[in-house]
Amino acid sequence: MPVTIPDKAQILDWLQAVKDPEIPTISLIDLGVVRGVEVDEATGKVSVHLTPTFAGCPAMDYMKRDVERMLLAHGVPAVEVDISMREAWTSDMLTEAGRQALRQHKLSPPPVLGNQVLDLDFLEYAECPNCHGNNTELRTPFGATLCRAVHYCHDCRQLFEQFKPV
Amino acid sequence: MPLTSQDPRIDLMYRLADDQLILGHRNSEWNGLGPILEEDIAFSSMAQDKLGHSLQMYSMLHALGEAEPDTVAFTRNAPQFHCCQLVELPIGEYDFSLTRHFLFDHAELLRFEALASSSYEPLAQVARKLRGELKYHALHANTWMKRLGTATEEAIERMQHSLNFTLPYALGIFEKTDAEPEIISSGLFVGEDELKSRWLESITKVLAQTALEMPEVTTLTPVFGGRHGQHTEFLQPLLDEMAEVFRLDPTADW
């Protein structure tokens, strides 16, 4: 029986089901950490290129393992996952669906940087994930994980977490 | 491994990596001891960032033929380390740790901004990533320098005392090695003198927004030696503690 080798679109579709180990609403694809997928058409081997959101992110090994498990479970004969900074992650790599997924988890998505310089205004700005207002203040740039900052909403009178712009 | 290397890339990257590893370890010592919860978390987060940064540097060194990152981090003794003496000093009181963090991370941010256009592309790629993360370190340091540097008389006096004590060590960040001319001529890095002048401008701007006085830097004697393997009595005990598990069982997972 001929073996069908899945195409790249199929692989990406399967990878949509691999979520961030610490933010279960967002896929690694929408987080922007999957920088490339290649399928070897002769052998069916799949190579996946990942990049960390923050260089010291302790979740990278888990992400790598989850990608391997997911693809092997779909019958991919061999999987190779590498982690590099050839194409370094910036918060602009979050997709629109990813920003929505962060809001679902009550995390404020980072503002889109575009061509602007990452200056203090950017680091200090956040939209409240509860009321969507911006009457907010940066309380501390370091939160529960390296990728989160803690802000305060003056309207809701609540602390909230933001996925940091970087 | 040789303390001085013929390859200027190796010479430069050992200094960067060792600074990050040792200061990362020192920052982690605030875990559970921070004066307020947010500072406990901040220093622990910066520790994690710095260890991540040093791993990137050690991995690049490994690609150039040096030993595995864990071997390099955990099996050398103090004379084989290239960190400046500033990073190895004990955490002391919070005013000292904060001042060291402010002085070091302004230099670190400017260093990686410059390295983003290094002629050595793998280093430039990593630098473009790390500079974004380092902005948060500088932002954090600025916030607290301004807050405490404009607070009560006691706060200002303690911060001024820390600044006066720490500055000569901070000048040791910019100690050059024999590789310096080649590092500059090959476009690897702008060089320590240029970095120092950018750093002075940067910290002076922040200090001007406080009641603290910037000592006249030209009258200070920089604490050199670290880049050439001469360290304080505080480095070896740190290394012994850091490597305790690794030396008991190099294959252990933790």
Q: Kindly report, residue by residue over A20-58, the tens digit of the pLDDT.
A: 999 999 999 999 999 999 999 999 999 999 999 999 888
Maximal C-alpha separation, chain B = 53
Point out the residue among B38, B130, B136 whose CB comes nearest to the CB of A55. Answer: B130
CA nearest to B38 within chain A: A140
What's residue B135's pLDDT?
Answer: 93
Residue B99 has pLDDT above 50, yes or no: yes
Q: Give the span between the Cα atoms of B35 and B28, in whole angstroms.
A: 14
Distance from CA of A74 to the nearest CA of B (A): 30
Is A160 in contact with A128 (CB distance < 8 Å)?
yes
Point out the residue among B42, B53, B56 whose CB comes nearest to the CB of A142. Answer: B42
Q: Give the span between the Cα atoms of B16 and B112, in whole angstroms.
A: 10
What is the H or E stretch that residue A148 is in?
Answer: strand A148-153
**How many CB atoms lie under 10 A from the CB of residue A165?**
23
Test A88 with B133 for CB contact under 8 angstroms.
no
Report pLDDT digits (tens) over B208-223.
999 999 999 999 999 9
Query: Which of A60, A142, A147, A159 is the best substitution to test chain B (most B C-beta atoms within 10 A)?
Result: A142
Test A123 with B132 for CB contact under 8 angstroms.
no
Distance from CA of A161 to the nearest CA of B (A): 13
* ipTM of the prediction: 0.85
Test A142 with B38 for CB contact under 8 angstroms.
yes
- If interface means Cβ-Cβ distance under 8 Å, which residues of chain A face chain B? 52, 54-58, 85-86, 88-90, 118, 120, 123, 139-144, 146, 149-150, 164, 166
Adjacent-strand bridge partners of A37: A48
Q: Give the span between the Cα atoms of B184 and A48, in whole angstroms.
A: 37
Report pLDDT digits (tens) over A142-164.
998 999 999 999 999 999 999 99
Test B140 with A141 for CB contact under 8 angstroms.
yes
Residue position matching structure tokens 């006691």: B154
Residue B25 has pLDDT above 50, yes or no: yes
Q: Cα dist. B232→B17, B160, B225, B237, B239 in Å? A: 18, 23, 9, 10, 12
Test A55 with B48 for CB contact under 8 angstroms.
no
Residue A118 has pLDDT above 80, yes or no: no
What is the H or E stretch that residue B43 is in?
Answer: helix B37-63
Q: Give the span between the Cα atoms of B251 and A93, in whole angstroms.
A: 37
Tell how far CA B140 is from the center of its chain. 15
Tell me the pTM. Answer: 0.92
Point out the residue among A57, A120, A166 whose CB comes nearest to the CB of B132. Answer: A166
Tell how far CA A57 is from the center of its chain. 12
CA nearest to B53 within chain A: A55
Point out the residue among A58, A86, A123 whose CB comes nearest to the CB of B135. Answer: A123
DSSP state of B66: P
Point out the residue among A52, A57, A143 whose CB comes nearest to the CB of B41. Answer: A143
Q: Give the span between the Cα atoms of A20 and A50, in whole angstroms.
A: 12
Test A146 with B49 for CB contact under 8 angstroms.
yes
What's residue A126's pLDDT?
Answer: 93
